Structure 1
Amino acid sequence: MRQPSATPSVRARLLGSWRMIDWKVFRGGETIDPPLGPATACTGLLIYTGEGTMSANLTLAERAPFADGSLDGGTQQERAEAYRSIISYAGTYEVDEPTATVVHHVKIATFPNFVGADLTRTCVFEDENTLKLDTPPMKMGGEPLGSHILWQRKGAR
């Protein structure tokens, strides 16, 4: 007789690469666009490694290139728009299995205030290939707003 398999740990379920499929921000009972614009105009990549490293990248899907094409180039306006159109950070992570939370220990980030921060996310697995990360309220537009991002495992349909 075959024994039922144990449910994998939260950490084991997080491992791998995920693509953003939706992003919601909440103001009271109202859903508003995320800081980059409508979720349908955004894309993202989230990676968790077995060694404990993570990377989160959210960006507008369509970003204008710099006219001069130089890595260190761009006009002041082009650079401001490039910064406005991406949220990216990386570091290490820890999982609290009983609460199904993951803490991102941020080492580098496009948003300087994230560097050195511990960002806690609640993990809700809608199925084996769909992950919703709920965030506690974070300041957006000067006010604390809750949000969640829906991720789909890369390669899953």
Structure 2
Amino acid sequence: MKAELRRLLLGTGSLMLILFLAVGCASIPPQGQSVQGAWRLVSWETVFKDGTVTHPYGKTPTGFIIYEPSGWMSVQVVRDPMPPVPASGHSLIGATLEEKSAAYSAYYAYWGRYSIDASKSKVSHVLTASLLPHEVGRTYERTFSIEGDRLLLTTPPYRSGGKEAFNRLTWQRLPSELRP
């Protein structure tokens, strides 16, 4: 009886281990397919339903998105061309309202938690803080794909100027020697 019980437990344990490994491995993206890491912005395109493409932050914006293994993320984007330095010097404290507005309009940033649904190729950003106060607490879902060293993030469709559009952001993985 003990030998049969031991055989059954070992057989069940092996089956459970195989199932655990199979289920666990199914949710792990292939090597190099993880969004984790630091990425440099290559392009930000707004694509309209009629095929028109615009570049809301210019043709060559500067930006970074970082996905930490701990589940935190951060994104920062600066328009190209960057606004001029305020006439008052290096600080916005003495800048005119127009200079402050130009600086504010040329920059976008938020940070918070993220989660991945690999089965749907979706990443969700849950905003803890944002340059735009009305975004705090929102969850932004993006479709993602990774091709080589490129990460493509696509927003769901939305209305812009009465037209349907979506944003497509292309990021390039930073080499490890450039990571903090």
- TM-score bracket for the superposition, by shorter chain length: 0.7 to 0.9
Structure 1 gaps, min length 5: 1-5
**Residue aligning to 1:81:** 102
RMSD: 2.4
Q: Structure 1 length as normaliser, TM-score?
A: 0.82
**Residue aligning to 1:122:** 143
Render the CA deviation track for 1:70-128: whole Å, top value 9, x for unaligned.
3533211111001111111111101112111110001111122321110001111112x
Q: Structure 2 length as normaliser, TM-score?
A: 0.72
Offset of residue 32 of structure 1: 2.5
| Greater strand proportion | 1
State the identity %.
30
Tell which structure's C-alpha radius of gyration is larger: 2
Render the CA deviation track for 1:26-72: whole Å, top value 9, x for unaligned.
11132322323x333x1110000011110111111433222222353
**Residue aligning to 2:63:** 44
How many residues of Structure 1 are paired with residues of Structure 2 in the alignment? 148
Alignment of 1:5-84 (within 5 A): 8-9=28-29, 13-36=34-57, 38-40=58-60, 42-61=61-80, 62-68=82-88, 69-70=90-91, 72-84=93-105
Equivalent-residue separation in structure 1 for 2:164 and 2:128 (angstroms): 23
Equivalent-residue separation in structure 2 for 1:49 and 1:12 (angstroms): 15
Retained in 1: the 8 A contact 2:49–2:164? Answer: no
| Greater helix proportion | 2
**Residue aligning to 1:91:** 112
Structure 2 gaps, min length 5: 1-24
Q: 1:85 to 1:141 in 2, by over 3 A?
A: farther
Q: 1:20 to 1:12 in 2, by over 3 A?
A: same
